[in-house]
A = this chain, B = another copy of it.
Amino acid sequence: MLKTISSASFWQPVLAAAAGVAFGVLLEKSRRRRTTASSSSDVVRSGIDVVVDKEQLEELVASCLRSAGTPPEKAKLVARVLVAADCRGIPSHGVNRAEMYCGELKAGLIDPTAEPTISSDSKAVANVDGNNGLGAVVSQYAMQLCIQKAKTNGIGLVVCHNSNHFGIAGFWSELALREGLIGFAFTNTSPFLVPTRACSRAGGTNPIACYCPGDGDSFQLDMATTTVPVGKVEVCHRKGQQMPHGWGVDTGGASTTKPKDVLMGGGLTPLGGLEETAGYKGYGLNMMMEILCGVLSGCTKVGPAVPPWRLDRGVAVDYGHCFMCIDPQQLLPSGNFQQSLSAYLRAMRSLPSTASSVLVPGDPEKAQEASSESGVRLNRHVALGLRSLARTLGCAVPGALRDLPEDEVPLCPHV
């Protein structure tokens, strides 16, 4: 056969194939370069929203929690924390979690009436037993104690054990910010992270929040120590989109771009992604959070032993938190920290930029928060899910949700 092929007809496909290989490599390289222009948030942002009045939304969530057995004041606090997340553009920790909270309450997994108690108290530090109460109730108590300690001693640290999901970490840092303090809030959560070189989940998204007061400005960092939160993977899954490399791994611990691989047995990568791009650092930070929240507070289960955040878990989830406040006035003359911080934030925002301007942590959330004054934007499926929950619990539904079509069902409320 080979002899019958002329030189030209032999080389034509070979050269074409070679050119194709080169083109393919360039295509893939260019895809990687191109996708780097958008943030991980842009990838999952959804277009169809429902706008609900903020107070009505808080009352709706609070009424659901009351129907599930929560005393009014506690229900109001939890509702404020959830709605605050939607206002800040963090819908993964917003009112979409009301269904899970109500489910936990009705299943008897959380004690809605529990008050936190102090299990050890030293000058600048304390350990709080959450008594399996609502995470927001435990956190408000602990952060207020921490603020007092910082005002007295320059720094305060309060850890909590036997608690539950506390919403967005930044909500608690903000309590310190309002007092002119630097506020940190950390928590452990149920396993979704696959550590470097491992092939099973063994840590939560374990966030770090740090808020610092400027002079009419502020630094507001609130980030999971995984590359992305679970919610972003869920949205890609629902939309049938692939994820960028570095977000998650499959059951074998190998990098995957398929959301399903991550959700069904695989897991999230630590910040930094795979090993060659220093994912072991995000894994180290994730462990640091687990130690400060779970180990230091005396949680009975830490790391891979933390129960899944599911209604069929059968036991208290026993989350731990850690709050820390620093009073800058006890280190620098009054106002100096705030002024210097503002100057630093301005310097960073005015750096020469590639395309859009350089931001500092909190800038996107603050812009979103300002636009929420006129109404909170909810993903349509979250809104449908909330209406469905309210009706199940016999709660009154505000107009914006009543007006949604009756024949539409929530596809995936956990966005």
Which A residues are within 8 Å of any B CB, using their own CB?
A: 9, 12-29, 32-33, 35-40, 43, 120, 122-127, 152-157, 159, 182, 195-200, 202, 208, 210, 212, 219, 221, 223-224, 227-228, 244-247, 252-255, 271-278, 280-285, 287-288, 290-291, 294-298, 302-305, 324, 326-328, 330-332, 336-337, 340-341, 344, 347-348, 351-361
Contact = CB atoms under 8 A, between A and B. Distances in A.
A20 B20 CA distance: 4
Given A25-B27, A198-B358, A295-B340, A125 B275 contact: no
Contact of A271 (B282, B294, B359): B282
Contacts of A122: 153-154, 327, 330-331
Contacts of A252: 354
A412 to B, nearest CB: 23
B358 A296 contact: no
Given A271-B281, A297-B331, 8 more contacts: A16-B16, A16-B17, A197-B353, A198-B354, A200-B352, A272-B273, A277-B277, A287-B348
Given A246-B273, A303-B344, A120 B291 contact: no
A368 B40 CA distance: 37
Contacts of A331: 120, 122, 125-127, 159, 296-298
A296 B198 contact: no
A295 B24 contact: no
A12 B9 contact: yes
Complex copy number for this chain: 2
- A43, A245, A252, A290: residue with the most chain B Cβ atoms closer than 10 Å: A245
Contacts of A208: 285
Given A16-B17, A351-B195, A284 B125 contact: no
12 contacts: A19-B20, A20-B21, A123-B152, A123-B154, A125-B326, A153-B153, A159-B331, A202-B347, A223-B285, A253-B354, A304-B347, A304-B351
A200 B341 contact: no
A22 to B, nearest CB: 6
A358 to B, nearest CB: 5
Contacts of A125: 153-155, 326-327, 330-331
B32 A245 contact: yes
Contacts of A326: 125, 157, 296
Nearest to A336: B298
A221 B284 contact: yes
The 3 closest A-B pairs by CB, nearest first: A20-B20, A24-B24, A125-B154
B347 A303 contact: yes
